[in-house]
A and B are shown apart, each in its own frame.
Chain A
Amino acid sequence: MPLNRRPLLGALLALPLALTACAGGGDGEQPFEAEAGALQIYSSQHRNVTQAWAEEFTRSTGIETQIREGQDSSMGHMIVEEGESSPADVFLTENSPAMTVVERAGLLAPVAEETRGQLREGTAPSSGLWTAIAARSTVLVYNTDLISEEELPASLMDLADPEWAGRWGAAPGGADFQAIVAGMLADRGEAETRTWLEALAENAEVYQNNIATMKAVSAGEVPVGIMYHYYWYRDQAGEKESSASTALHYFGNQDPGAFVSLSAGGVLASSDMSDEAQQFLAYVTGPEGQKVLVDSGSMEYAVGAGVESDPALPPLDELEAPPVDPFTLNSDEVLTLMTDAGIL
Chain B
Amino acid sequence: MPASSRTRSASRAQGVAPHGVVRARGVAPHGVVRAPGVVRVRGVALAAAAVAALTVLPLLVVLADAISAGGAGAAEYLLRPRVAELLGHTGMLVAVTVPATVVVGTLAAWLVERTDLPWAGLWRALLLAPLAVPAFVSAYAWATVAPWLTGFAGAALVTTLAYYPFVFLPVAAMLRALDPADEEVARSLGLSPAAVVARTVLPRLRPALSGGALLVALHLLAEYGVLEMMRFQTFTTAIMQRYAVGFSDSSGSLLASVLLALCLLTLTLEVAAQGRRRVARVGSGAQHPAPQLPLGVWKAPAALVLTAVVGLSLVVPVATVTRWLVSAVADGEVGGDLLRVTSNTLVLALLGGVAAVVAALPGAWLLNRHRSALTLLLERATYLASALPGVVVGLALVTLAVNWARPVYQTVWLAVLAYAILFLPRAMVSLRAGLAAAPPELSEAARSLGLRGPATLARVVLPLMGPSVLTGFVLVALAISTELTATLLLAPTGTDTLALAFWRETGELDYAAAAPYAAAMIVLSVPLTMLLRRHLLEER
Question: Which residues of A approach B to under 8 Å, CB–CB?
Answer: 1-2, 5, 8-9, 12-13, 15-16, 19-20, 22-23, 26-27, 29-35, 40, 46-47, 66-74, 76-78, 80-83, 85, 87, 95, 97-98, 100-101, 173-175, 178, 206-209, 211-212, 215-216, 219, 221, 231, 234-235, 238-239, 241-242, 331-332, 335, 339, 342-344
Contact = CB atoms under 8 A, between A and B. Distances in A.
Nearest to B351: A16
A239 B327 contact: yes
B82 to A, nearest CB: 4
Interface of B is mostly: helix
A175 B488 contact: no
Interface stretch (B95-103, B256-264, B335-343, B431-439): B335-343
Given A19-B343, A208-B237, 12 more contacts: A35-B494, A46-B508, A66-B494, A67-B494, A73-B243, A76-B246, A81-B398, A97-B245, A175-B246, A206-B233, A231-B509, A344-B238
Contacts of A343: 82
Contact of B231 (A22, A83, A206): A206
B365 interface: no
B298 interface: no
**Interface SS of chain A:** helix
Contacts of B340: 23, 26-27, 29, 31
A285 B410 CA distance: 29
A161 to B, nearest CB: 23
A73 to B, nearest CB: 4
A6 B428 CA distance: 24
A81 B399 contact: yes
A66 B516 CA distance: 24
Contacts of A12: 527-528, 531
Contact of B346 (A15, A73, A77, A85): A15
Interface stretch (B1-9, B176-184, B270-278, B305-313): B1-9
A92 B411 CA distance: 22
Interface string B481-524: 00001001101111110001000100111111000000000000
B148 interface: yes
A40 B493 contact: yes
Contacts of A216: 147
Contact of B531 (A9, A40, A70): A9
Contacts of A175: 244-246
Contacts, number: 187
Contacts of A238: 509-510, 512
A32 B412 contact: yes
Contact of B488 (A27, A74, A81): A74
B236 to A, nearest CB: 12
Interface of B: 1-2, 4-5, 77, 80-82, 85, 143-144, 147-148, 228-229, 231, 233, 237-238, 241-249, 251, 327, 336, 339-340, 342-344, 346-347, 349-350, 391, 394-395, 398-399, 402, 406, 410-412, 466, 470, 485, 488-489, 491-496, 500, 504, 507-512, 527-528, 531, 534, 538-539
Contacts of B504: 47, 69
Contact of B406 (A85, A173, A221): A85
A76 B531 CA distance: 41
A212 B245 contact: no
Contact of A34 (B242, B492, B510): B492
Contacts of A15: 346
Q: Which 5 A-B pairs have the closest CB atoms?
A: A19-B343, A16-B346, A173-B241, A68-B493, A23-B340
Nearest to A21: B343
Contacts of A101: 246-248
A92 to B, nearest CB: 14
Nearest to A87: B410
B399 to A, nearest CB: 5
B395 A78 contact: yes
B492 to A, nearest CB: 5
A70 B228 CA distance: 18
